[in-house]
Copies of this chain bind each other. A is one copy, B any other.
Amino acid sequence: MSIRGNMLIAQSGGPTAAINASLAGAVGQAMKCPEIEKIYGAKNGVEGILRENLVDLRPLLRSEEDFTRLKATPAMALGSCRKRLAEKPDQEYEALREIFHRFGIRYFFYIGGNDSMDAVKKLSAYFKACGDEIRIVGIPKTIDNDMACTDHTPGFGSAARYIATSMAEIACDSAIYTPDSLTLVEIMGRNAGWLTAAAALARRPGCTAPQLICMPEAPFDEESFLRRVRELQAKENHLIIAVSEGIRYEDGTYVAAQSKLDAFGHRQLSGAAHTLGRLLLEKIGCKVRPIELNVLQRAAAHLSSETDLEEASRIGAEAVSLGIAGKTGVMATFERISDQPYLLRYSYAEIDKVANVEKTVPVEWIDGEHMDIRPELIRYLSPLIQSPSQKEPGLPTYFMV
């Protein structure tokens, strides 16, 4: 079933610390495949293909050191785009087909999130309908961990490690003064609370932060929130609340959207921490400190999870093997065999089941009453942030007086 020809690979959507590891894994595997001749990287995803902005990757990746460096580089080495193909084939589809033919592309690998898998779905169906044997395989990627049919997504573990470590450091930072304080840490995730939940990995003997976790999956209720804060303040002076940018009321309206327009006149989701901060200041009145974790959540390669980078690289390689084996219109996936020991199987899913589907945190892993998560979620998250070569593979332990 193997066909000879050239390969094209591209990256799309928002950055992660692991997306280049998938690029490295796929290219490394392709170099071992006699079926694959030229290896092109498209700059800026599908947009770059349409502009014929293709780079020959073989001369750029010659040594083991080149691959190591690529794996450790955050965001997209090839650039990205946020482009959606039309629902029905149009002249852009035709242009892409003509370019694929002219460059002899028989394998196309697209590394991206839900939107990017939509392109895999549309293009693979289109090429099939045209009778072209061009194999298209998606490689998942997103810090949001919201993709269907895969246990988790490459990029999530590194973001989770960053968030958990930062949370532990913020907990130290917020506890140094004697007056009571409430710290709100806003975390990315518009519809899925996976990243916000990862803040709970900071909890260890001597660190109870974050004491509250507010996720988009659990409707936000002001009265319950204030009651819970007061309950916890009776026990601890310094509380830290992990807040997803996408928390919403029972009726589905975003908590942050209730606030004013942002500095640029856009009604943005960032601002949940500030909105809750105002509420706490008004109703409770102690020192309130809202902190927005910024783009480093997705770009902090210096704190990436080795487990994540290894898996991201491997799933890139697996995607190439799927293409060589004749698959098209699929996405490479992880299947978890067990939490402890942590074991994964590499597999794939039909792209129809993946594209445009958002996977949120199962409600049974959320403790809505206590605004917290359940132990099952901790067991799910823990293996993903481990860096086994480090002296402390999980989180650093601190000295407590």
Q: Is A94 an interface residue (CB 8 A)?
A: no
CA distance A223 to B399 in the complex (A): 50
A–B Cβ pairs within 8 angstroms, 27 of them: A15-B172, A15-B173, A20-B399, A43-B401, A47-B178, A60-B401, A70-B399, A72-B399, A75-B172, A75-B173, A75-B176, A77-B399, A78-B401, A79-B178, A79-B401, A81-B177, A166-B300, A169-B299, A173-B298, A263-B290, A264-B277, A264-B288, A292-B292, A292-B294, A294-B294, A302-B396, A303-B303
Minimal beta-carbon separation of A239 from chain B (angstroms): 16
Interface range on chain A: under 10, 10 to 19, 20 to 34, or 35 or more?
35 or more
Minimal beta-carbon separation of A25 from chain B (angstroms): 14
A76 nearest in chain B by CB position? B176
Bitwise interface map of A from 298 to 323 toward B, beta carbon under 8 Å scored 1, else 0: 11111100000000000000000000
Seen from chain A, the residues whose Cβ lies within 8 Å of a Cβ on chain B are 15, 20, 41, 43-44, 47, 55, 60, 66, 69-70, 72-82, 165-166, 169-170, 172-173, 175-178, 263-264, 274, 277-278, 281, 288, 290-296, 298-303, 396-401
Is B176 a contact partner of A400 (Cβ separation < 8 A)? no
Which among A278, A291, A302 has the greatest number of chain B C-beta atoms within 10 A? A302
Minimal beta-carbon separation of A243 from chain B (angstroms): 14
Is B166 a contact partner of A296 (Cβ separation < 8 A)? yes
Q: Which residues of B are found within 8 Å of A399, using beta-carbon distances?
A: 20, 66, 69-70, 72-73, 77
Is B73 a contact partner of A302 (Cβ separation < 8 A)? no
Given contacts A72-B398, A82-B177, A301-B396, 11 further A-B contacts (CB under 8 A): A60-B401, A69-B399, A75-B172, A75-B176, A76-B176, A77-B400, A79-B178, A170-B295, A264-B278, A292-B294, A294-B294
A82 nearest in chain B by CB position? B177
Q: Which residues of B are found within 8 Å of A177, using beta-carbon distances?
A: 44, 79-82
Is A172 a contact partner of B70 (Cβ separation < 8 A)? no
